[in-house]
Structure 1
Amino acid sequence: MKHIGAVQDAVTAFADFIEPTDAELDAIEQEMPAILAEVDLLDAQIMTLDRTPTELDIRRIRRARRRVLAESLALVNRTVSASLPGGAA
């Protein structure tokens, strides 16, 4: 029987050079409110997959969609104001 070996390391996730940089961690932290809003929307949608949505479910989904839009807009505004010189938008 012929043995087939891996050409590369099988797992490189624990290598020191793969850790996220401080800039990447800061970017994730800035995006976190938008990420959490999207998770809430998914939770509201998942609850209604196997049943007919009630009026409360519809309101919960609508409120979650508005929160996703608001957080996405806030993220874009923060990104644009941080990238423009002098903080002018």
Structure 2
Amino acid sequence: MTHIVKHLTLVTPPEPEDGPSAFELAAIEAEMPVITAELDLLDAQIIALGRTPNELDERRIRRARRRVLAARRALANRAAVGVELPEVGA
């Protein structure tokens, strides 16, 4: 007598990994200055939403935009120079 259990395939897919890989973490770490700058810009814009923006709000938003552009430029320059992310498993 043979058992049919051996011939069945899994109905549900296997569980994914428990979190990001080393490569994904390195990519996030490389982009963290851009993410932080964008959060600062968003905070400045949220502060100005509830009221008529005054000179201080406009200055805060303008500075935050400049920080975002500077962080994006730095990230693009690192990519153009060839700064590589660590290899998976390294």
Q: Aligned residues, how many? A: 74
User: What TM-score comes out, normalization by structure 1 length?
Assistant: 0.73
Q: Which has the higher contact order (CA 8 A, sep 6+)?
A: 2
Specify every segment of 5 or more residues in structure 1 that has no aligned partner in the other structure, as ranges.
1-6, 85-89
Aligned AA for 2:59? Answer: R
Q: Which aligned pairs between 1:1-89 and structure 2 lie closer than 5 A?
A: 8=12, 15=15, 17-82=17-82
The RMSD of aligned alpha carbons is 2.3
Q: Name the stretch that deviates more: 52-61 or 18-27.
A: 18-27
3-state SS of paired residue (1:51): coil
**Partners in 2 of 1:30 and 1:21 — Cα distance?**
14
Identical columns (%): 58
User: What TM-score comes out, normalization by structure 2 length?
Assistant: 0.72
- Structure 1 runs of 4+ aligned residues shifted over 6 Å read none
Specify every segment of 5 or more residues in structure 2 that has no aligned partner in the other structure, as ranges.
1-10, 85-90
